A and B are shown apart, each in its own frame.
Chain A
Amino acid sequence: MSATLDKLTTVFHDVFEDDDIVLTRETTAADIAGWDSLRNVMLMRKVGRTFGFPIDTSEVTGLKNVGALVDMIDRKKGA
């Protein structure tokens, strides 16, 4: 597991209030109970605060799965 995915898992545990969530790069909203449009926005705001950069809404809607989110975070961290 990458460091980003590891840290992201903690964010998911916090936002979904579920410490049993296990993330893979292939995880999508369909795999996690309660991952609706509201939680999605809460998640992205929390990701922005945790990793230290703002996330634009247009970036959120284009994400296909957790792997795409990890790549976006790594890209922004490296920018």
Chain B
Amino acid sequence: MSEPTGLLGEVFADLAARHPASLRGAQEARAIEPARFDATAERYLGWLRKARGDAWLTSSVNAYVQFSTDVIFAQADYEDDGAYAHDSFAKAHAEVYSQRHVMDEYLWGVYLTNFLWVHHMEIMRFFQDRFLAPLPANAHIVEIAPGHGGWGVWATASRPDVDLEGFDISPSSIAIASSIANAAGVSDRVTYTLRNALDLAVMPEASADAVICSFLVEHLEQPDQLFAVIGRILKPGGTAFITGALTAAQVDHIYEFRRESELIVLAEQHGMRVRESLSVSPQRILPKAKFLPRSMAMAVTRCAHGFW
């Protein structure tokens, strides 16, 4: 396998020079399908450089390493305690979401995990092949909690026929996702609004051809409410891409999913059928771990006739 070039080459070189302990995971992610990884990374990094300017490399690599380190520390604490650190949205909001600087760096770190974490790169492939490619022409996508914007912007940049409306509770998310959309040249088809995802229950029923909701469910006290919203706004026959974290700690993860079936049942209870799913764990976990951290993605369809 050849060495990475371009912007990705700069990221790998910076990791090797300043954070060698964090390089191996990125190398593992690339090794699975190097050509596709490189293309995905170059696109994401190109937007990142435009959005953040000349200081993009050092600041973004720092954010990635900080976020990844925080996650491993949280997982180690979870192994010791047997439970996530917080169980209320209010605590997560106080520590993360309401802290603008913390939230900004957090989001840039998460942005890079979309491809630098091997299991997230697997989810990214699922997103591209199993959700995005089969979407009908001119689909109207609603993105719930876009965070850094990397999923929805990827969708609109890959499919010039679709448009996207995103809602997030965090001003940092709105600002960063908007900057990524601008950098990708899709801001004419993307709008972001500051709004609680659960308030979307007032949106017109069956108004979306597709929904993207990535890694939100584990941040909620009552994930059931989110699935109710998705099931309501999705048109019959419409598709949602939903991801969640299972037994995977993070400072702001508050709902502990232990089994993949829990997410599937939530979708089914709200009128959706899981067409395909993928659950992936990192290649390396803490030694003697009691919990296997996983990321799960589902492509679900809103049933038109009850059972299907």
Q: Say if the beta carbon of B31 comes within 8 Å of chain A.
A: no
A28 vs B16: C-alpha distance in the bound complex, in angstroms? 10
Interface string of A5-40 (1 = CB under 8 A from B): 000000000000000000000001110000111111
Is A57 a contact of B73 with CB atoms below 8 Å? yes
Contacts of B287 in A (CB 8 A): 42
Contacts of A37 in B (CB 8 A): 21-22, 24-25, 68-69, 72
Is B20 a contact of A42 with CB atoms below 8 Å? no
Q: From residue B100, how far is it (CB to closest CB) to chain A in Å?
A: 17
Number of interface residues of A (CB under 8 A): 17
Is B69 a contact of A35 with CB atoms below 8 Å? no
Is B69 a contact of A41 with CB atoms below 8 Å? yes
Is B70 a contact of A40 with CB atoms below 8 Å? no
Contact A61-B24, Cβ < 8 Å, known A37-B69, A40-B69: no
A60 vs B65: C-alpha distance in the bound complex, in angstroms? 10
Is A41 a contact of B73 with CB atoms below 8 Å? yes
Q: Which of chain B's residues 278-298 have a Cβ closer than 8 Å to chain A?
A: 284-287
Chain A residue nearest to B61 (CB atoms) is: A61
A27 vs B68: C-alpha distance in the bound complex, in angstroms? 22
Q: From residue A78, how far is it (CB to closest CB) to chain B in Å?
A: 25
Q: Say if the beta carbon of B225 comes within 8 Å of chain A.
A: no
Q: Which of chain B's residues 253-289 have a Cβ closer than 8 Å to chain A?
A: 284-287
Q: From residue A52, how far is it (CB to closest CB) to chain B in Å?
A: 18
Q: Say if the beta carbon of A58 comes within 8 Å of chain B.
A: yes
Q: By CB atoms of chain B within 10 A, which of A29, A42, A57, A61 has the most? A: A61
Which of B18, B69, B72, B286 lies in contact with A64, CB distance below 8 A? B18
Is B21 a contact of A40 with CB atoms below 8 Å? yes
Number of interface residues of B (CB under 8 A): 21
Is A36 a contact of B18 with CB atoms below 8 Å? no
Q: Which of chain B's residues 45-73 have a Cβ closer than 8 Å to chain A?
A: 62, 65-66, 68-70, 72-73
Which of B20, B66, B286 lies in contact with A38, CB distance below 8 A? B286
A21 vs B286: C-alpha distance in the bound complex, in angstroms? 21
Q: From residue B168, how far is it (CB to closest CB) to chain A in Å?
A: 25
A35 vs B20: C-alpha distance in the bound complex, in angstroms? 8
Interface string of B1-36 (1 = CB under 8 A from A): 000000000000000101111101100000000000
Chain A residue nearest to B24 (CB atoms) is: A36
Q: Say if the beta carbon of B76 comes within 8 Å of chain A.
A: yes
Which of B69, B285, B286 lies in contact with A61, CB distance below 8 A? B69
Contacts of A41 in B (CB 8 A): 69, 72-73, 76
A21 vs B79: C-alpha distance in the bound complex, in angstroms? 27
Contacts of B72 in A (CB 8 A): 37-38, 40-41
Contact A42-B18, Cβ < 8 Å, known A37-B24, A37-B25, A57-B66: no
Is B21 a contact of A39 with CB atoms below 8 Å? yes
A39 vs B76: C-alpha distance in the bound complex, in angstroms? 11
Contacts of A60 in B (CB 8 A): 69
Q: Kindly list the 5 A-B residue pairs having the minimum CB-CB distance in the complex, ordered from nearest.
A: A29-B21, A29-B20, A41-B72, A40-B21, A30-B20
Pairs across A and B, CB under 8 Å, 19 listed: A28-B20, A29-B19, A29-B20, A30-B16, A30-B20, A36-B22, A37-B69, A38-B72, A38-B284, A40-B22, A40-B69, A41-B72, A41-B76, A42-B287, A57-B70, A57-B73, A58-B66, A60-B69, A61-B65
**What residues make up the interface of B, taking CB atoms closer than 8 Å to A?**
16, 18-22, 24-25, 62, 65-66, 68-70, 72-73, 76, 284-287
| Beyond A37-B68, A38-B286, 14 additional pairs, beta carbon < 8 A | A36-B284, A37-B21, A37-B25, A38-B284, A40-B21, A41-B69, A41-B76, A42-B287, A45-B73, A57-B69, A61-B19, A61-B65, A61-B69, A64-B18
